[in-house]
């Protein structure tokens, strides 16, 4: 993870291609659009990060309060924000204003988000002196992002992959439904003879 606050110093162009991005909730909540988009190539990394972050937030992500690309400087400075490169997201903005310390209230970013962000090569605004709890930014080069697996971001040894469990359940539920319908059919036939 790069410690510089200038993405161009670790390989990003001054104006990366920005693409639309929508997060589809692993918990069945509403899709969360980031209407202004993110840097092309970062979508999978953001999805993996958000999938892991979502269960830790009471209420998950609130549509309409999550932001991505915006061409602007860091407030009070002449330094371009990571938002200007499509390398930053703000989550549940009205509930996570500057100076906050994170927490477990409704739509609040918990402090455990720091470790998840770091695992994916990101920095959390909760790590800063003047905190910005809603804010997460990517500190990886384009090629590191393109590597696109958790093991390439960190030395994480793994654990329960909740997204694959969710997809497994998703695959099983139609079979379960068919099974129930067959049993009902057998019972109906049995009761009519
Ligand atoms: Zn931000």
Residue 2: the pLDDT is 92
What torsion do the CA atoms of 121, 127, 130, 131 make, to the nearest 10 degrees? 90
CA 11 / ligand 1 centre spacing (Å): 21
State the pLDDT at residue 71: 81
Ligand 1: centre distance to CA 29 (Å)? 23
Residue 74 has a pLDDT of 79
> Can you give the pLDDT at residue 160?
42
Residue ranges for the chain with pLDDT beneath 70: 148-178, 193
* Centroid of ligand 1 to alpha carbon of 28 (angstroms): 25
How far away, in angstroms, is 93 Cα from ligand 1 center?
9
Residue ranges of alpha helices (H) inside the chain are 43-53, 113-119, 142-147, 150-153, 162-191
The CA-based angle 147-67-12, given to 5 degrees, is: 40
pLDDT number for residue 88: 97
CA–centroid distance, 179 to ligand 1, in Å, is: 48
- How far apart are the CA of 74 and the centre of ligand 1, in A? 9
Q: Which two tokens stand for residue 153?
A: 């971001």
In this prediction, residue 188 carries a pLDDT of: 77
> Given this model, what pLDDT does residue 77 score?
79
Q: Which CATH class is domain 7-162?
A: alpha beta
Residue with tokens 């310390």: 101
Residue 55 is classified by DSSP as G
Our CA angle for 91, 23, 155, nearest 5°, is: 80
Q: What distance in angstroms lies between residue 173's CA and the mean position of ligand 1's atoms?
A: 38
Ligand 1 is an ion; residues with CB less than 5 A from it: 88, 90, 135
Q: How far is the CA of 186 from the centre of ligand 1 (A)?
A: 58
Tokens representing 28 are 């069945």
Q: What are the extents of the domains in the chain?
A: 7-162
């Amino acid at each position: 993870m790069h410690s510089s606050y200038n993405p161009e110093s670790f390989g990003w162009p001054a104006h990366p291609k920005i693409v639309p991005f929508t997060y589809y909730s692993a918990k069945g909540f509403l899709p969360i659009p980031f209407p202004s988009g993110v840097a092309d190539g970062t979508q999978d990394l953001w999805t993996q990060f958000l999938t892991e972050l979502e269960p830790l937030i009471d209420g998950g992500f609130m549509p309409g309060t999550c932001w991505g690309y915006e061409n602007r400087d860091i407030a009070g400075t002449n330094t371009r924000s990571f938002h200007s490169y499509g390398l930053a997201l703000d989550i549940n903005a009205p509930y996570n204003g500057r100076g906050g310390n994170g927490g477990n209230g409704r739509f609040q970013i918990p402090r455990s988000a720091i470790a998840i962000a770091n695992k994916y090569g990101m920095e959390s605004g909760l790590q800063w002196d003047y905190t910005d709890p809603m804010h997460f930014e990517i500190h990886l080069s384009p090629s590191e992002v393109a590597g696109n697996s958790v093991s390439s971001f960190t030395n994480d040894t793994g654990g329960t992959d909740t997204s694959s469990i969710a997809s497994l359940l998703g695959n099983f539920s139609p079979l379960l439904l068919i099974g129930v319908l067959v049993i009902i059919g057998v019972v109906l036939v049995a009761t009519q003879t």
